[in-house]
Amino acid sequence: MNMLFICNQNENRSKTAEELFKGKFKTKSAGLFNKHPVTSKELDWAEVIVVMDDFQRSEIAKRFPKSYMKKRILSLNIPDNYYYKQPELVNVLKLRMSEFEELF
């Protein structure tokens, strides 16, 4: 399954998630507000899009309305107060993703 993780900058949350789940899924990560923001090509590649908060879901809907309507987008509701591969972030990512296990 192709899974795209998205956060604001693609430095901490989504980048950690990409690394953490690459053994279970085909993963990529992207940001919304960085030098190279997520593209429609990346969204098209993904079977599931995972955002870190609902604001990011809304931003995808605004920027890519056609892709948004065609994709399953899950929100993990993880605040932007972690650093890359922080143990607490890894734990919360595992916990929140486990809540969606029946979908995969």
Comparing CA positions, the residue from 44, 41, 43, 5 lying closest to residue 21 is 5
pLDDT tens digits for range 12-33? 999 999 999 999 999 999 999 9
- What pLDDT shows up at residue 64? 97
Number of compact structural domains in the chain: 1
> Could you tell me the CATH number of the domain that includes residue 48?
3.40.50.2300
- Residue 102 banded pLDDT, cuts 50, 70, 90: confident
Answer for the pair 63, 52: CB distance below 8 angstroms, yes or no.
no
Query: How many helical (H) and strand (E) elements, i.e. helices and strands, does the chain have?
Result: 5, 4
Domain assignment of residue 77, given as a range = 2-103
Q: What is this structure's pTM? A: 0.96
